A = this chain, B = another copy of it.
Amino acid sequence: MTGLSAERPSEVVLAARVARQFYLEGISKVGIADRLGISRFRVARLLDSARETGMVRIEIGLRGGSLDAGLSAELCSAFGLRHAFVFNFPDDDEPALRRRLGEGAGQALMDIITPSDVLGMSWSRTLSGLAAALTQMPPCPIVQLTGAVPPPDGRDLLDLVRGVARIGGGPAHVFYAPMILADAQTAAAVRRQADIAGAFALVPSVTMAVVAIGSWAPGLSTIYDGITPAERDALAGLGVCAELAGVFIGEDGRPVATPLDSRMIVTPGPALDRIPFVLSVAYGVSKSPAVFAAIRGDMVHGLVTHASLARALLSLADGRGGRR
């Protein structure tokens, strides 16, 4: 299309008049055509030109509050996520970022959960603050998805599960077991415990899970930081790239079986994969490959994060062929 040239100032002005009336005053093209004495087709073509030449600028922007709706929407489109929540939190203060993201995840959870859901919970430092932000919840059953990891501040996974359940008034299915045991036999024995078996029996009915995404690198994963260097390297050698709810995944985002699995009390990868909606939480630009993998492998369907990680993900997707 030829568009508006500087040679025809009256055409340019006419386009601006049409655009004002159409976009700003909300008049229909037929109405504009009648007022200006031109055909509705000309109105439509002028509007096209005005948009093409950049005379009309349309921006989908942030709104009050910390939620960046535009970035969130971009994430959804770029990765096919069902939900994304990108918050404008500064990166510099990590504990504060964790706390606020935990609250954000709580907001998101309250918003998207329905009374018919069965909620699975896992733990991370970010998620431990989630319950505090909840103000209303339907009385869904809450299922503990993994064994516990000793938290620095004493607020462990059982507290989280119970805290969430308390708000809604639904049943909490918790059990006492560590996430990693010394050997496979012990782990197998632990799994036979009634409360653990009971909780795990509920996993297939879980419709929504909340998980944190860890990256297989120092300081970016509770598990990585909690095992021996030899174990770390062994898993890295198997292609482990990230971890969520104790499930290891590779660069392609698919679960990777590891020697550690038999010693762990976690929802197995395939079972996690079958949960209809997994809401993930992650922060830090350095985790972008891990999050990218989890999304690519369809392990997670929702993401709560902050702006800089969101942008890092989008540039990864651009470079490596996201689904845009």
Contact = CB atoms under 8 A, between A and B. Distances in A.
B112 A13 contact: no
22 contacts: A4-B63, A7-B111, A8-B111, A10-B83, A10-B85, A10-B108, A10-B112, A12-B72, A13-B73, A13-B84, A13-B85, A15-B69, A16-B70, A16-B73, A17-B73, A17-B77, A23-B58, A54-B61, A55-B63, A55-B69, A57-B57, A57-B61
Nearest to A53: B63
Nearest to A76: B17
A64 interface: yes
Contacts of A57: 57-59, 61
Contact of A108 (B9, B16, B59): B9
B67 A6 contact: yes
A24 interface: yes
Given A15-B69, A16-B72, A69-B55, A60 B10 contact: no
A237 interface: no
Q: Chain copies in the assembly?
A: 2
A19 B76 contact: no
Interface in A64-91: 64-65, 67, 69-70, 72-74, 76-77, 83-85
Given A10-B85, A13-B69, A55-B69, 20 more contacts: A6-B64, A6-B67, A9-B85, A12-B63, A12-B67, A12-B69, A12-B72, A13-B84, A17-B73, A24-B58, A24-B60, A50-B60, A54-B61, A55-B60, A56-B59, A56-B61, A57-B57, A57-B58, A57-B61, A59-B59
A20 interface: yes
A195 to B, nearest CB: 34
Contact of A20 (B9, B17, B67, B73): B73
A308 interface: no
A258 interface: no
Contacts of A262: none
A63 B72 CA distance: 30
B63 A54 contact: yes
Nearest to A104: B9
B13 A72 contact: yes
